[in-house]
Structure 1
Amino acid sequence: MTDLLVIGSGPAGVSAAVYALRAGLSVTMLAKDGGALGKTEMIENYYGFEEPVSGAALLENGEKQAVRLGAALVRDEVVGLGFNGNLVANGLRGTYEARAAILATGASRVTPPVPGLREFEGAGVSYCAVCDAFFYRGKDVAVLGNGQYALHEAAELLPVAGSVTLLTDGMPVPGGLPEGLKADGRKLQAVEGDKAVAAARFADGDSLPIAGVFIAVGVAGSDALARKLGALTEGNRIVVDADMATNVPGLFAAGDCTGGLKQIVKAVHEGAVAGMSAAKYVRSLK
């Protein structure tokens, strides 16, 4: 077990790790890839660079800095977050436990443009299987997505729901489906119902009767992970106080996932605050 888990290795995550390490904490950074920053071709509005720098280069330098100071950098995709007395991150390759955690994987940028999803949020459309599976026990539900995160959410629902169908919305159906999971690769036209979700309608005119749709497109963003622990969110923004603390003890957030200006300078600042706040929290437990 480590003192602090930092989920994400971008500007917010690295800054959080650096300040927590300098405060004497042991830190493990979990990161799947470079996210949006790794795909940015040129940055010229960040302090200290005479010439433009690529996002990939900035990301690599930041990770190396954190590792040099003592952080353990683990390449894994985090698909779940739980609590067993400590905070536990569930990855595709392992499980990681710590006294505190900082969410810094950025904001969710993938919103399926399917009519009905926004309208039925809270009335059949959910973003957290572990949170809401209980409400769909014995009912037919669907998971929208085609990646490892979608398969993880489907696996959470299978023991509880009457049936679970993976809807890939025209994307390829992944291999290695869990036993009992159905899959439909047709393009979605809309999610329909009266006061709550009743069906998914496909572009070919067919409909699939369902009581709920769980959104799991792409990878699990910070807001999706926060919801799994009951942290307050507003849209895709995690609600934090001035110390970057959520309403869940030991859980902090920094960067794009907290809303506001989506710039590196803001992410670095919030990461530093979150790292120092996490250090103060962990010391209070000892």
Structure 2
Amino acid sequence: MYDTIIIGKGPAGISAAIYLKRSNKHVLVIGKDNGSLYDGVMIDNYYGFPGGISGTELIERGVKQATEFGIEVLQEEVIAIDKLDHFTVTTNKNTYEAKTVLLATGKPRTTLRIKGFQQYRGKGISFCVTCDGFFFRGKHLALIGYNDFMLHELKDMEFLTDKITIFTNGNPLTVPVEGYPVVEDKIIEITGDGEVAKSILTENGEYAIDGIFVALGSPGAVDFATRIGALVEGSNLVVNEDFQTNIEGLFAAGDTVGGVLQVAKAAADGMHAAIALKKILKK
């Protein structure tokens, strides 16, 4: 079991990993991609890089520094985090266990650009089967997604109802699905009675539903946090002065906690979170 699993290999995550490793903690970093720091981003206001540096190169340098310290950095997609007496982190390839977790994934993925989506978000549209599934037991549900994240949510949804239709919203289905209808049409609109969502309109038809769960793309820090009961305000995780959420052992740092969205701030968050993590691990 790891002392800490860090989700995200950006400045906040890698900075925290290095500080923890220097204190002889057993650390694992998992990151799917470079997040917002891709090739097209040029950073010219970060200390020590005259002339600037691309987002991709900064990420690569950080990962190289971490691995030289002996830190394990995996390129995998985290699809769920659960907690009983310790944390279990499930990826598209494996399952890992840790005493503590640090969320440093950056901002959550963008929402669906579909007519009616914002109107009915939270009114029949949910992002978390574990959180909201209880209210939809035995109902006819729609699950919007196409990959490992969707399949993971589907397995949780099966305990609620056997009336499930999967909508890929025009994306090719990348995981095997048996026993449930799959609609690969592009979604045009989500309609309802003004109070709750009632149907999904696609390019080729209309489908009556009682509830919609969204599991598109990759889950972000807010998705992970709400799944296990952590507090969220808007698109930010709520943390205390030690960067710990209301869930003991679950920490967050960087863009996902809000504030100034800058590399320097994210790296500082990672350092402060690591210092707090060391204290709780001593207990």
Q: Quickly name the TM-score band, shorter chain normalised.
A: over 0.9
Counterparts in 2 of 1:157-176, with a 5 A limit? 157-172=157-172, 174-176=173-175
Provide Cα deviations, 1:205-231, integer angstroms capped at 9, x if missing partner: x32111111122211111111111110
Read off the aligned partner of 2:141 and give its amino acid letter. V
Counterparts in 2 of 1:1-286, with a 5 A limit? 1-172=1-172, 174-194=173-193, 195-204=195-204, 206-284=205-283
**Residues 40 and 16 of structure 1: is their aligned pair in 2 closer, same or farther, counting only changes over 3 Å?**
farther
Read off the aligned partner of 1:65 and give its amino acid letter. Q
Provide Cα deviations, 1:185-210, integer angstroms capped at 9, x if missing partner: 21212222222221112244x32111
Task: State the TM-score, normalized to the length of structure 2.
Answer: 0.94
Q: How many residues align?
A: 282
Uncovered stretches (5+) of structure 1, i.e. residues with no partner = none
Query: How far apart, CA to CA, are the structure 2 residues paired with 1:148 and 1:98?
Result: 22
Contact 2:151–2:175 under 8 Å retained in 1 = no
3-state SS in 1 of match to 2:155:
helix
Query: How far apart, CA to CA, are the structure 2 residues paired with 1:39 and 1:87?
Result: 33
Percent identity, aligned pairs only, is 37
3-state SS in 1 of match to 2:43:
coil
Task: State the TM-score, normalized to the length of structure 1.
Answer: 0.93
Provide Cα deviations, 1:210-267, integer angstroms capped at 9, x if missing partner: 1111122211111111111110112221111121110100000011111222221111
3-state SS in 1 of match to 2:36:
helix
Provide Cα deviations, 1:90-139, integer angstroms capped at 9, x if missing partner: 11111111110000111113211113322223321111122222222211
3-state SS in 2 of match to 1:38:
coil
Deviation of the 1:158 alpha carbon? 2.4
Read off the aligned partner of 1:64 and give its amino acid letter. K
Read off the aligned partner of 2:33 and give its amino acid letter. D
Contact 2:167–2:184 under 8 Å retained in 1 = yes
Query: How far apart, CA to CA, are the structure 1 residues paired with 2:97 and 2:86?
Result: 6
Query: How far apart, CA to CA, are the structure 1 residues paired with 2:176 and 2:158?
Result: 12
Query: How far apart, CA to CA, are the structure 1 residues paired with 2:165 and 2:214?
Result: 12
Query: How far apart, CA to CA, are the structure 2 residues paired with 1:225 and 1:69?
Result: 28
Uncovered stretches (5+) of structure 2, i.e. residues with no partner = none
Query: How far apart, CA to CA, are the structure 1 residues paired with 2:163 and 2:260?
Result: 41
3-state SS in 1 of match to 2:270:
helix
Query: How far apart, CA to CA, are the structure 2 residues paired with 1:96 and 1:230?
Result: 20
**Residues 68 and 175 of structure 1: is their aligned pair in 2 closer, same or farther, counting only changes over 3 Å?**
closer
Contact 1:133–1:161 under 8 Å retained in 2 = no
Contact 1:189–1:201 under 8 Å retained in 2 = yes
Query: How far apart, CA to CA, are the structure 2 residues paired with 1:22 and 1:128?
Result: 36
Deviation of the 1:273 alpha carbon? 1.1
C-alpha RMSD of matched pairs (Å): 1.6
Farther-moved stretch of structure 1 (126-135 vs 174-183): 174-183
